[in-house]
A = this chain, B = another copy of it.
């Protein structure tokens, strides 16, 4: 765990670049591999094959091998990957060897839950400060942290090296908060507010919108429903969905 050296790599010197620029898709999967690896380590596995790790992470084994090859990680042919070594390597690449400080802005419904979410802590992060603009919420203690007013952000940022800002405010406040975070030097932002933010170049921005996920599922529900509602009797009567929408049959090609 506290081991920062990575022993045991084959003799070739300089074979592992410091920070290869990985495909974004690979980066997005590394955390999943990491979680699967931790599970494996806890259950006593010392090595794992690409097939085994892939299924534990829910991906294709060829994809996993290619991902790992991108970061220069060496498995052993005929054996597999060393679990502990791979954990170290991925954690290093993801920059998890230092426990990054996270500032959470917006302690409403969702923010409150995020402040208490132990998944952040258990996976390499440290919630360094909580902020809110609502004076009524300032002073409240959540999970051992006191909510500060957003105006104190500059002062707190000067004390703690805040690496990542999390925005859990209403949409109307999000852009302003983002600007303030950028102003104090934060270069990575995770946005939970349902709105588009604009940030200067060099600042990384990711967004999580819970309602959007549901809407995507809703689309698939809708599609499945319309398909099953049409057994095979093409064309005859248009089936009406509960909402009142007439549905033409799938072979709408007749129109074109």
Which residues on A are within 8 Å of B, measured CB to CB?
2, 4-9, 12-22, 27-28, 30-32, 34-36, 56-58, 85, 88-89, 92-98, 100, 102, 109-110, 112-114, 116-120, 122-125, 163-164, 166, 187-190, 194-196, 198, 202, 204, 206, 208-227, 238-250, 252-256
What are 9 inter-chain pairs, A to B, with CB distance below 8 A? A4-B244, A7-B244, A13-B242, A14-B254, A18-B238, A19-B248, A31-B216, A109-B117, A110-B113
Of all chain B residues, the one with the shortest Cβ separation from A238 is: B18
Please, which residues of chain B bring their CB within 8 A of the CB of A17? 238-239, 246, 248, 252, 255
User: B190 to A204, Cβ gap below 8 A?
Assistant: no
User: A217 to B244, Cβ gap below 8 A?
Assistant: no
User: A245 to B89, Cβ gap below 8 A?
Assistant: yes
User: B123 to A4, Cβ gap below 8 A?
Assistant: no
Please, which residues of chain B bring their CB within 8 A of the CB of A255? 4, 12-15, 17, 98
User: B226 to A18, Cβ gap below 8 A?
Assistant: yes
Q: Pick the contact of A16 from B89, B117, B164, B244 — CB < 8 Å?
A: B244
Task: Pick the most buried of A21, A223, A253: most chain B CB atoms within 10 A of its CB.
Answer: A223
Known: A96-B215, A216-B31. A247 touches B19 (CB 8 A): yes
Please, which residues of chain B bring their CB within 8 A of the CB of A254? 4, 14
User: B4 to A245, Cβ gap below 8 A?
Assistant: yes
Q: Taking the nearest CB of chain B, how far is it from the CB of A175, in angstroms?
A: 12
Q: Taking the nearest CB of chain B, how far is it from the CB of A191, in angstroms?
A: 10
Q: Taking the nearest CB of chain B, how far is it from the CB of A111, in angstroms?
A: 8
User: A6 to B215, Cβ gap below 8 A?
Assistant: no
Task: Pick the most buried of A22, A30, A31, A166: most chain B CB atoms within 10 A of its CB.
Answer: A31
